[in-house]
Amino acid sequence: MIMRILVDLTHPAHVHFFKQAIWKWKDRGHQVFITSREKDITIELLNSYGIEYICISKYGSGLLGLFKELIVRDYKLYKLARKFRLDILVAIGGVSVAHVGRLIGKPSIVFYDSEFAKLSNRITFPFTDVICTPSCYKEHIGNKQVRYNGYHELAYLHPNWFTPNPNILTEVGLTENDRFFVLRFVSWGAAHDIGQRGFSQEGMEKLITELQKYGRVIITSEAELPQKLKKHYFSLSPDKMHDLLYYATMYIGEGVTMASEAAVLGTPSIFVSSLDCGYIGELRDKYNLIYSFSDENEAINKIIELIRKDDLKNEWRKRREIMLKDKIDVTRWMIDFVENYPESFKDYKNKNK
């Protein structure tokens, strides 16, 4: 059956998560409508992949700004949903698709992997029809929950979909023999970031001073950097970031998504944040692909210890292979689940009684 599917993309990682499914659904004859949001490089990514979209809101900072944005998104998405005569709505997080799906009487499927987003979960989960989470998700949501054996990042970084391009090294002035470190600092402006922390400015400077002894430092940041760190900032086309992460000696940062991306690519990953979630815990405790710290000094000590190890990358590549053997191709699972809904949901429930 040909379907009319709406995919709502509110964060750069969501573009990566859904892009292969969007292309496959279109190849199979479905009509796919994309709504988006001005958040970080979301629009830039959509443009770079040639994905047509309608931008319906701009990122609101702080609780009041996010609440105002939500009102705008719900209203505009409702109007578009009526116009497009949708069959189903899907998203990560999915606050607006849950609300609008309920209003127009159409099913919404929400993908989620972050237990710490308590506020958005409270205003999403009661309204959506299905909540798809990784099997390592810590919380039991109820009858709407579907668990799959994978991570969001395996929707686009699984070897079935991703092949690293070594040309990225030439673009940033490096070779495969060079050691380099990718750092990511966040703005701490999301609702779930309130009261959380990562690196202090002093910690950033100390970290970079140490790293420079071993290789080049490349910073990507959504926050304004201190003046003395700006020389390490590198503006890279967003669709090439995963190539860079693959070849990096190590990833270090406050960004939870990029920490898990580096891990599933087999790059040593150091996550520095007071936040924690199920998939970070599993990548850390079961597969030893991530180290996570809330204390920046403990993190820096571990970073120096790891850098001094011989054959660090090969060790991580082996750990990655173990993880990949355990996990599914999330995109293929998602394509089939959405296309076959609601039968796919009924089948899942029957198998897990």
Q: How many CB atoms sit inside 10 A of residue 83's CB?
A: 9
Nearest-angstrom CA–CA distance, 156 and 152: 8
Element (H, E) at 253: strand 250-253
pLDDT at residue 194 in the model: 40
Structure tokens at 220: 């990507």
Q: What is the pTM of this model?
A: 0.90
Same fold, 4-158+328-351 and 167-326: yes
Element (H, E) at 151: none
The residue assigned the tokens 């029809």 is: 129
Instruction: Out of 10-24, 147-161, 211-225, pick the least confident.
Output: 211-225
Q: How confident is the model at residue 67 (pLDDT cuts 50, 70, 90)?
A: confident
What letter represents residue 138's amino acid?
Answer: K
Nearest-angstrom CA–CA distance, 3 and 338: 10
Q: Where are the domains of the chain?
A: 4-158+328-351, 167-326
CATH 3.40.109.10 fits 4-158+328-351, yes or no: no
Sign of CA dihedral 262, 266, 267, 269: positive
Which candidate, 353, 346, 350, places its Cα nearest to that of 130? 346
Report whether the peptide linkage leading into residue 342 is cis, meaning its omega lies within 30 degrees of zero: yes
Q: What is the pLDDT of residues 75-95, one digit of tens each?
A: 999 999 999 999 999 999 999
Q: Residue 325 half-sphere exposure, CB side, CA atoms within 13 Å?
A: 7
Nearest-angstrom CA–CA distance, 243 and 241: 5
Structure tokens at 24: 């496959």
pLDDT at residue 228 in the model: 80
Helices marked H in the chain: 12-27, 42-48, 62-84, 95-104, 118-122, 167-171, 201-211, 241-247, 256-264, 278-285, 296-307, 312-326, 330-339, 343-351
More confident residue, 31 or 222: 31
Give the domain 167-326 fold. Rossmann fold (3.40.50)
By DSSP bridging, strand 145-148 and strand 180-185 are unpaired
Mean pLDDT, to the nearest integer, of 256-282? 92
Q: What is the pLDDT of residues 279-289, one digit of tens each?
A: 999 999 999 99
Phi, psi of 186 (to 5 degrees): -110, 170
